[in-house]
Every structure is written in C-alpha cells, then in structure tokens.
Amino acid sequence: MDTTELSTLIKTRRSIRVFQDKPVPEALLLQAVETATWAPNGGNAQNWRFSKRPSAIANDLSDHSLKRGDFLLKRVGRSCSQTLRLNRSLHNKQCSDCFFIVRPSKPSMAVRLLLATRVIIESSLGPLLVERGAGAPYVTENTLQALPVPLDIADLDVSLYRRYRYAVLRQNTQRIRAIEAEYRHQIGLVPATAV
C-alpha cells in the first residue's frame, strides 16, 4: 500500500451511528472482530492486566488475593467465557486458580470495561472468540488478552450507561443483564442464549 492509498483510507473513514435492521453474517462479524484486534488502542490504554500466571501465584500469593474492582472469570467449564463478574465486596481474599483475576489498569474504568467486555463475550461471538477445547471448554490468558474490547460502546447511549453504572452499584443483576442486552441489540450482536 502506498502513502496516497493509506492517506485516502484514513481521511475517508467514517463513524457509523445509525444501523440498518439487517442481520450481519456471522463470518463477517468474526472477521471484523479479528481484524479489530490489530487496531491500536487509544493512548496505549492497555485496559486490563492479568495478575501473575498460576505458576507464579504458587510462589507468591500477593497477587493471588482478590481486590475490590477486580474481575473474575472461570477458566474451565460450560459457558466459562460468560462468567465474567465484577468483585464489589471481597478484598484481600485468596482466590482459587480455577479463576482468572483480571485487574483493570484504571479502577475508574472498571464499569465501562465490564460493560464492553460482557457485551462481547455474552454474545453469540463470545465463545467463538474466547473459548477453546472440544470437550470441556476453557479460556486461555492469550485468548482473553487478544479480545477486542470496545470501550466506547458506553458512548452509544450515555443515559443507558448511567443506568448501567447505577445497576452495577446496586448489584441489580437483572437490570445489568437487561442493559447489556440493549447495548448488544444496538450494535447488532445476538445473545449467546439465542443461538
């Protein structure tokens, strides 16, 4: 690609906020998400980091303890990719290595990160993007780190995002799931349970 072609691509890129009510082929969605993993993130944000690997945790339990604002995700089991939860209450508690402890790099971004991640992984694409294995599905650190997380999804509907933050604060699971479903609908993703 020459510089003129690159310049044209950059200058003609458009943000799309109005969508047609037509289904998008799953193959196209998978390709788009895979391609998105190559995109740079804003200001090298690196929105989350993993606590130490399980082998390192065995030697050093300091990063094995759960902190408020951490996410937990089951490593193995049916629908393991759909078990991401925000820890709102446990602090300095030991955690089994059956779970990933995912720590947002900026605590202030935890709810936004939770929304964006759950909208993706609890869609029909989630298991395809994150889970591996034919028998008991499992999640690897690499697949989770490669997951494209669209943080700006909260900006699609600021009022809805405010209600989401309030539902997370109140730990209203039913409301949280309903709002995540609404965002999923807005961007054209199918819920995993509807597949």
CB 46 within 8 A of CB 83: no
DSSP 191: B
Give the Å distances, CA to CA, from 143 to 37, 99, 131, 147: 11, 15, 8, 6
Q: In whole angstroms, what is the distance from residue 193 CA to residue 176 CA?
A: 16
Q: Is 61 strand, coil or helix?
A: helix
Q: Into which CATH architecture does domain 47-190 fall?
A: Alpha-Beta Complex (3.90)
pLDDT in tens, the chain (195 residues): 667 776 776 677 766 666 667 776 777 766 666 666 565 555 555 555 554 444 443 444 455 577 888 888 888 888 888 888 888 777 777 777 788 888 888 888 889 999 999 998 888 888 888 888 877 888 888 888 888 888 889 999 999 999 999 999 898 999 999 999 999 999 888 887 644
φ, ψ at 160 (rounded to 5°)? -65, -40
Neighbour tally for 138: CB within 10 Å: 16
